[in-house]
Amino acid sequence: MKQHRKIVSAFTLCAVAMAALAPLAASAGQPSQAPAQATQFVTQTDRLIVRYKDADTNAARGIAAGAISTARQALLARAGQTFGATLSALRATVNGANVLKLSRSMTLVEAKQLAAELMARDPDVQYAEPDRIMVPLATPNDPSYSQQWDLFEAKGGINVAAAWDKSTGSGVNVAVIDTGYRPHADLAGQILAGYDFISDTTIANDGSGRDTDASDPGDWAPAGSCGAGVPAMDTLSSWHGTHVAGTIAAKTNNGVGVAGIAYNARIVPARVLGRCGGYTSDIADAIAWASGGTVANVPAAPYKARVLNLSLGGSGACDTTTQNAINGARSRGAVVVVAAGNANVDAGSTSPANCAGVIAVAAVGRSGGKASYSNYGSVVDVAAPGGDSSGGGILSTLNGGNTTPAADTYAYYQGTSMAAPHVAGVAALMLSANPNLTPDEVEAKLKSTARAFPAACSGCGAGIVDAAAAVNAALGTSATTTPSTPTWTACASEGGTCSFSGIREVRYGSGTTFVSKTVNGSVACTNAVFGDPTPNVVKSCSYSSVTVTPTWTACADENGTCAFSGTREVRYGAGATYVSRVFTGSTACSNAVFGDPVPNVVKACSYSSITQ
């Protein structure tokens, strides 16, 4: 039994308290209304809305709003050719704008680029934008969503609703390396095939060792069953992995229970914790397996996970076995999220939070300040809601059995175990929005977009994770490239044609102010193509020696401040139209600094990966 005491002290659950396990008023299986189909946000369109500057004048003259001149039709055609589409007038709107039908459906991102292209070609366009398809949108119809303060409240929440129109986690698998899972109505269809890695039958508590059944039989432990005096009294089953899974990916807009953060992601359960805890060796194997690695005598994972959630921990330095497993997972593209621990001590003494390459997560309460139990320190990367005694815990899926499984239920838990899956869920949203992100990029963007603590949280990392800001940052980043310093070759004066080989970035302007576009082969060096970054000044074009587009990092919305290291090129605009200037350290992201390349459209700034 001495061996079991060691397990308890090494790796345990990172949850500290829970409410009574009574079902909520709207419990699973007893929905207050017929389950609705999950809302799918429409991210494509086959229409643009274009308003011309003379719309009001034409209306006064009695000219029909839908009428488009031959010259304008020609500009529409040239803009559409760039995107392999034709545009035809469909009807007029109430304010005199034109609804244009596209010959093909395209993503909203592409439609925005087409709108920007049209504005660049035709100076008579007042504004152009996608004709987006809306769906009924309020809050999720999950009856307990209003109790999930951690998702939406301004002080302690993660602002996830604002991220859902851009990403819901589709296509991303999240491994919950934990106690396994219980089937639950609010997780129906969310759980993929997993594996039970517990090799000790006593710990497994299911009568067998390793097998393909990752379901949780319960981790209840009679007093003294894990060693002399451990535990001091009988403990109930925690169903910890089921609670974590629900926070990440509970079904949403199904008229039942709670909402998950990345509700179109899927859960890969890897069972490593049972009665008395779990062995490091089992946990390390699960980390490798879930990320697509090979584990002896274990069948290959049928579903590779891009995000691994480890809401577990123990005292001491990061061991080599765990670090090697984490290194392997990261090399396969997996983001590893770890709870900081619940002992109110420096997380540098808690493993695996102190391992290299993980995203270590502290917990805040409803006020946005540090939860009293949360570990802290320099190894902590970010914070997320974990709940506290004053403001309440984190509501998620659970099982009602005290020892063995019983009916579905929900419960409030507190702990860094609850904070970590908030970050894992946001990471899934980011990777769904941009699958090309590396683990380092996910971590960097989570940190750079985290919001300031509204209450004291010393040693809690960069801030509270902001789901919407993190997804926006993910969408603003292209595939990873190796930065290199470009040289610029003059290719045409204003009115001429700039020609080159391959796909290159072309600048149009004068001095340090120019508009940039990425084009293939050649481009007319004119205001009609680029806009006019320096009015009443003779401009010219030059092309870059670099044939791979640099990585651009979103740094500020309009009227914010874009900050970065060194001297870099900063873009200001929307879609594919922007003004670029070179700055050192920071700049205001505003029309006053850059001009207004896209009138009547909300703009933003991003900085280049290439230092000048």
Q: Any idea which residues carry the catalytic annotation?
A: 178, 240, 417
Tokens matching residue 516: 């940039």
Which of 40, 21, 50 is CA-nearest to residue 122? Answer: 50
- Asked whether the beta carbons of 572 and 553 are under 8 A apart, the reply is no
- Asked whether the beta carbons of 272 and 300 are under 8 A apart, the reply is no
Tokens matching residue 34: 């017929």
**Distance (Å, rounded) from C-alpha 229 to C-alpha 402?**
21
Sign of CA dihedral 86, 48, 64, 90: positive
Tokens 């879609």 map to which residue? 575
Q: How big is the CA angle at 363 (ends 169 and 464), to the nearest 5 degrees? A: 60
Tokens 């490798």 map to which residue? 288
What contacts 130, CB < 8 A, 6 or more positions away? 45, 47, 48, 49, 108, 111, 112, 115
The HSE-up count of residue 309 (CA atoms within 13 Å, CB side) is 37
**Distance (Å, rounded) from C-alpha 502 to C-alpha 483?**
18
- Asked whether the beta carbons of 304 and 291 are under 8 A apart, the reply is yes
Number of H helices, E strands in the chain: 14, 25
Q: How far is CA 176 from CA 63, 108, 202, 339, in A?
A: 63, 33, 22, 12
The residue type at 198: I
Give the max Cα distance, the chain: 93
Return the axis-axis angle of helices 467-475 and 439-449, rounded to nearest 10°: 130
- Asked whether the beta carbons of 347 and 355 are under 8 A apart, the reply is no
Q: Reading across the β-sheet that carries 335-339, which strands appear in turn?
A: 195-196, 266-271, 173-178, 307-310, 335-339, 359-364, 382-385
Return the axis-axis angle of helices 280-290 and 320-331, rounded to nearest 10°: 10
Q: How big is the CA angle at 436 (ends 433 and 439), to the nearest 5 degrees? A: 100
**Distance (Å, rounded) from C-alpha 523 to C-alpha 492?**
10
Q: How big is the CA angle at 392 (ends 390 and 397), to the nearest 5 degrees? A: 165
Burial status of residue 146 (CB atoms within 10 A of its CB: 0-12, 13-18, 19 or more): exposed
- Asked whether the beta carbons of 229 and 169 are under 8 A apart, the reply is no
Backbone angles phi, psi at 411, to 5 degrees: -155, 160
Q: Are strands 266-271 and 195-196 parallel, antiparallel or unpaired?
A: parallel
- CB atoms under 10 Å from CB of 226, counted, come to 25
User: Hey, which residues does 605 pair with through a beta bridge?
Assistant: 556, 572
**H or E element that contains 127:** strand 125-130
